Homo-oligomer: A and B are copies of this chain.
Amino acid sequence: MAKRAGVSIATVSYVLNGSRKVSPELREAVLRAVEEMGYIPNAVAKSLREQRTRTLGIVVPDIGNPFFSALIQAFEACAREQGYRVIVASSEEDGSLEEDALLNLTGRQVEGIALVPTQDLHNPPSKQVPLVVLDRLSRSLDVDAVGVENEASAYLATRFLLEQGHRRILVPASDLRLTNIQERIQGYLRALEERGLKADPSLLVECGRGPLEGVRRRIAEAIQRLQPTAVFPITNRLTLATLRAIRELGLRVPQDLSVIGFDDFEWSHLLDPPLTVVAQPVEALGREACRILLQRVLGLSGQGVYQVRLPCTLEVRGSVGPPRRGA
């Protein structure tokens, strides 16, 4: 390469990295040559040599979901600030695509991976690369993890509905095998219990993670059959499906039915009506995951695992009111 500068290949490295004192003349020559030929150092070679790629990976189930894209945004921002780039992979809620992604990222020598798993992780998928589990935590996996206080926040939301007088609260859930979903349900149940109410199991409807249309139909059917006075869908997709179902059924919110959604986003208060939601601190989640990973990279985290649980907030807007008379 830039022997154009009439110097050794090593010298180029030295001036470009400032890793050694170089005389002004050579320095100049190198810089000029670099400029002239638009030389850009090959980061692949550099990575191979240094055994550092300055790359992180993040694997989410669905890039298009605003919650996950917000997670990616925060993760990327944090990484960039520390001089890292991030490879984004989607598992499409498919375990084998997830496995592929994990293997592929590991092979690419990313220095850390943030994973929102498609299923609860029971054993870490190889200890080759630092991993942080995001959002969908397992009950007791000994690995770094960042999630929210699912139980507490669902409890809070449910209590709010109970305080408004609701007794029949429909809870659309996605996949009961996921611990975070279970936790949210626990919170819901605890709020009921606390009031001495018995939970009607049929009010808990598992909708799966399939196409929105099917989810919507299932929820619509449940609303009609069970006549709840409130609905508390516990993911943002379920919230979307719920609102569609309600719209389709011609019900008014909150007069006919109150709704508390899950996850906040910029458009929530522009919905009809402004949606009361459990807001996850998504920015903090993404950044925290990144920080934990970089911490591991630098080796300045001990043996113990980080198990961060961030609180959610209840954003009260217009979609909750007292239950309909005679319900």
Contact = CB atoms under 8 A, between A and B. Distances in A.
Given A63-B73, A271-B271, A41 B89 contact: no
Interface residues of A, number: 51
B77 A108 contact: no
A40 B73 CA distance: 29
Contact of A72 (B41, B88, B266): B88
Nearest to A69: B69
A68 to B, nearest CB: 9
Interface stretch (A22-30, A192-200, A220-228, A239-247): A239-247
Contacts of A272: 270-273
Contact of A38 (B76, B85, B90, B126): B126
Contact of A44 (B53, B64, B267): B53
Interface in A36-75: 38, 40-45, 47-48, 53, 55, 62-64, 66, 69-70, 72-73
A250 interface: no
A86 interface: yes
A53 B53 CA distance: 13
5 contacts: A43-B108, A66-B66, A80-B89, A85-B87, A212-B266
A103 interface: yes
A301 interface: no
Nearest to A275: B270
A104 interface: yes
A13 interface: no
A128 interface: yes
A107 interface: yes
A109 interface: yes
A128 B38 contact: yes
A121 B206 CA distance: 50
Interface string A198-223: 00000000000000100000000000
A106 interface: yes
B85 A108 contact: yes
A43 B55 CA distance: 13
B63 A76 contact: yes
B89 A87 contact: no
Contacts of A106: 40
Nearest to A240: B266
Interface string A241-267: 001100100000000000000000011
A105 B42 CA distance: 10
A272 B243 CA distance: 12
Contacts of A66: 66, 69
